[in-house]
Chains A and B, each alone.
Chain A
């Protein structure tokens, strides 16, 4: 068996908070925060850290290149991957919302709503529950542009502060749900490295509780 527990951490904002949380729990201690290394061995804890693009975390975990990963709940829902979702890390919180010009109707009895989004699965499932016919316009970024140029009636996206929406004259038309960062595990790794994984969850849980106390 591989001697290391391999953990895929996302680069960027989510990764920075994750790094602090791991450090607080006694891992990644000698790793330099601004390092550009993609692989780091924490030999004291028998862990190997991979620093990957946030959208790729699930790929690394489902293919068992990493046993564990940290990823936003939005990615988990969108990719519908067969993983275990072991812990809500309670950081990286943001909201999913439908946004568009003020007064845009989102329920149209016989009409089709055109929606631009990076999240077609989430969007399709949400509107299916509402029995609203939709046309999805898949985009990979700057989705706020779509209603401005008439490409879509509205958008479905993650909203953190709402600043980008406001600056483009758009409003939240309906809040959908909240998402946050999750600790995920490959299902085979969960079996073969069960003790190591549960011990990691325990350590992160303790550091989560102490960070609440610090607050």
Chain B
């Protein structure tokens, strides 16, 4: 019993069904094909290739051969290990999924529905624009205020390369950027012997965000160091294809994951406290082998979107 009446329960089920169908329709119209990720992963193989993952939060089972399995900890591993080895580096493949990921907390097992796409060997720029258009159209159809935030992993990777940091310095800088901790960053920059143009950039890094018009203005007013200017221009080129008021850029958007290589994006709903969609251009690597393919994709927290749609009524 969850305290809901039959009307409320059925209304929730209807919104769930309609939202799922809408997502599937949007991506099917663009040629994405359904992929059903595996339910189980081998615990040993998964842990070996995901060393930073919190093992305690995984749901474990034992099969009749006494092998320990994980109940679908993520979707990426299943897709990357089953699809990437089959692809050459030219053929495009567009997949979508709608699946439940499982987590173990202290007291219970929880399942979280995710909807997402993976577009392998997608042509750079063109695919980026298509995916951003898809996200914008999908979220506009929900008729709730949202913001699509766009960053560039290439910009940050170039910045880190140019600064020639040690691994420890690099981790520290990533942390300061992730928290937008300007005071700490400025204090740290003072202790380093970076060139003046990089000092200036780091001291104003968190101002490099806002509307696409602001990025254009910023690049027009004063140039960034050349390699970074090129990365920012690439981002501006993509952003210039859109006029939507919901778009913001953020050049200090940083990921905890190493696999992103280019454009990154997140969607926020006005009344939901967390990101409801995230994704970007990345290198899809078979976690159990050596094969790798460039791809662009996103995953959406459909439970969060449905929750907001239900609240809206």
Contact = CB atoms under 8 A, between A and B. Distances in A.
Contacts of A87: 182-183
A37 interface: no
A86 B181 CA distance: 6
A188 B149 CA distance: 10
Interface in A144-196: 186-188, 190-192, 194
B248 interface: yes
A192 B270 contact: yes
Contacts of A186: 273
Interface residues of A, number: 18
Given A84-B180, A85-B180, A85-B181, A191 B273 contact: no
A188 B182 contact: no
A87 B181 CA distance: 7
A157 to B, nearest CB: 23
What is the interface residue range for chain B against chain A?
20 to 34
A192 B147 contact: yes
A88 B184 contact: yes
B257 interface: no
Contacts of B145: 1, 192
Interface in B147-191: 147, 149, 179-184
Contacts of B184: 85, 88
B268 A86 contact: no
Interface in B116-131: none
A6 interface: no
Contacts of A192: 145, 147, 268, 270
Nearest to A188: B268
B274 interface: yes
B210 interface: yes
A94 interface: no
B275 interface: yes
Given A82-B274, A186-B273, A188-B268, A88 B179 contact: no
B181 A188 contact: no
Interface in A133-148: none
**Interface core residue of A84, A85, A87 (most chain B CB under 10 Å):** A85
A191 B248 contact: yes
Contacts of A25: none
A48 interface: no
Contacts of A88: 181, 183-184
Contact of A188 (B180, B183, B274): B274
A117 interface: no
A191 B180 contact: no
A62 B181 contact: no
A82 B256 CA distance: 12
Question: Which 4 residue pairs spanning A and B have beta carbons closest together?
Answer: A64-B273, A88-B183, A85-B179, A84-B180
13 contacts: A64-B272, A82-B274, A84-B179, A84-B180, A85-B179, A88-B184, A187-B274, A187-B275, A188-B270, A188-B273, A188-B275, A191-B149, A191-B248
Given A187-B275, A194-B209, 20 more contacts: A64-B272, A82-B274, A84-B179, A84-B180, A85-B179, A85-B180, A86-B180, A86-B182, A87-B183, A88-B184, A188-B268, A188-B269, A188-B270, A188-B273, A188-B274, A188-B275, A191-B268, A192-B147, A192-B270, A194-B210
